[in-house]
Amino acid sequence: MSNTIELLETIGKDASLRYASGESLAQMLSGRLASECLLSAARSGDRGQLTQEFGQRDIKTSHSANQEPVPADDDDLGQQDDDGRDGSEVTEH
């Protein structure tokens, strides 16, 4: 597993590898004792092939709020808004 992570990092930071064809990547990886899962994933460009090695874990990606937060002791955000004080808490760039 750690070798796979290291090889992914190697690909990610190497300009000649990051956009290489699947076959080129697989050729490079086969010389570096890559797992069958990584070889297959690199060849196809399909991360799903790595599930067998790392398992399937649900990751939530939402970090933002779409409404102005109410005080900490009130968790029902759906009940407030539209009083002219809106100004969302979604952070700007």
Partner 1 sequence: MTTPVPANSEQAGSIACVGMGMTLGSHLSPLARSHIEQADVVFAALSDAIVELWLEQMHPDVRSLQPYYGEGKSRMITYREWVEVMMVEVRAGRKVCAVFYGHPGIFAWSPHEVIKVARAEGFRAHMEPGISAEDCLYADLGIDPGRGGCQHYEASQLLIYDTPLNPGAYLVLWQVGLVGDRSMKRFVTGPEYRQVLVDVLSRDYPLDHEVIIYRCATLPIEQPRIRHATLRNLAATDVSAEETVVLPPASRLHANTSVRERLAALDKAWAAQG
CA 40/CA 42 separation, integer angstroms: 6
Contact with partner 1 (CB under 8 A): which of 3, 10, 21, 52?
10
Q: Which of 24, 19, 25, 23 is nearest to 7 (CA)?
A: 25
Residue type, 92: E
Q: Can you tell me whether residue 68 is helix, strand or coil?
A: coil
Q: Which of 16, 61, 83, 85 binds partner 1 (CB under 8 A)?
A: 61
**Any contact of residue 33 with partner 1 (CB under 8 A)?**
no
Structure tokens that stand for 37 in this block:
């899962």
32 binds partner 1 (CB under 8 A): no
Site of interaction with partner 1 (CB under 8 A): 1-2, 5-6, 8-13, 17-18, 22, 25, 38, 41-42, 45, 47, 50, 54, 57, 59-67, 69, 72, 75-78, 81-82, 86, 88-91, 93
